[in-house]
Amino acid sequence: MPTLLDLQHAVHRSLVARNDAELASHIIPDGLAPQSRLNIYRNTFVGTLTTALRLSFPAVYRLVGAAFFESAARIFIEAEPPDSAYLDDYGETFPDFLARFAPAASLSYLPDVARLEWCVNRALHALDVEPLDLARLAAIDPQDQSRVGFVPCPSIGLVRSTYPVDAIWRAVLAQDDDAMSKIDLRSDPVWLLIERRKSGVDVIRCTAQAWRFASELFATRPLEAAIDAAPGVDASILLADHLAAGRLVDFKFVDLAGANAPEVNP
């Protein structure tokens, strides 16, 4: 007799890989064929995950329509099933899937809209974390300041795109056809910072240099590396803005290669 764990693994293989042979022999028909019973579970599994994706990517859903989205979601689910029961975490790789999905190629901006939506989704569900205590920062020895690597707030996200995906996202969610018709896909690239504030999630346009500085900073790279990544900017002003906005919650000492050293607790 199979163990409970064996049966659970067999159910997983049936739902994800459509391999019913192993499990079917352990199902009592009782008026309904084993395959039909398994199809009920499989349809529920796919339907639940499709709904989770639709809630995380509402603008993508509206851009492509229900039929297209559900078809794409089914293919994505079969290729990349969840590895966690927490559905808000499911869909991180959906933008990359859309970038490879040939039927979506005519909407070249779609993957970047999805990347923006995933950052918004992450911001919405991120844990609340207290901002960095500036007294700890002030206590750092001046000779170690260039080695400080900052830990960002979990709600922070960064997206860059050759398309004005923030304008597309807002117009689609507002169902503003007039605004959508005025969007110029050939306009300059956008460099976006996404964060959750008390008023909700903000999507902020940055300059390219400020975005590059933030990208290094939020990756917990040493401060010196962040400064080198954005020559010509006033790093002190940018850093002060991030600290004042509560976007940084901790720091570590890191070497110039980016390897983390033990956390500092002055």
Tell me the pLDDT tens digit for each residue of 187-214: 999 999 999 998 899 999 999 999 999 9
Long-range contacts of 240-245 (CB under 8 A, 24+ apart): 242/150, 242/214, 242/217, 243/131, 243/132, 243/134, 243/137, 245/195
Look at residue 86 and tell me if it is in a domain: yes
- Enter the DSSP assignment of 57: -
Tell me the pLDDT tens digit for each residue of 234-257: 999 999 999 999 999 999 998 765
Q: Provide the domain count of the chain.
A: 1
Look at residue 116 and tell me if it is in a domain: no
In the structure encoding, which two tokens stand for residue 233, read together?
Answer: 């900017």
**pLDDT score recorded for residue 4:** 73
User: Which domain range does residue 87 map to?
Assistant: 1-107
Look at residue 236 and tell me if it is in a domain: no
**In the block, residue with structure tokens 């008390």:** 198
**pLDDT score recorded for residue 17:** 60
Look at residue 160 and tell me if it is in a domain: no
Residue ranges for the chain with pLDDT beneath 70? 1, 6-34, 36-37, 39, 256-266
Look at residue 231 and tell me if it is in a domain: no
**pLDDT score recorded for residue 242:** 97
Look at residue 207 and tell me if it is in a domain: no
**pLDDT score recorded for residue 161:** 98
CB 68 within 8 A of CB 53: no
**pLDDT score recorded for residue 241:** 96
**pLDDT score recorded for residue 202:** 96
Letter for the amino acid at 68? F
Letter for the amino acid at 258? G
Look at residue 21 and tell me if it is in a domain: yes
Tell me the pLDDT tens digit for each residue of 212-237: 999 999 999 998 889 999 988 899 99
Give every CB contact of residue 66 below 8 A, 6+ residues apart in sequence: none
Q: What is the torsion angle, in degrees rounded to the nearest 10, for the CA atoms of residue 182, residue 188, residue 191 and residue 197?
A: -30
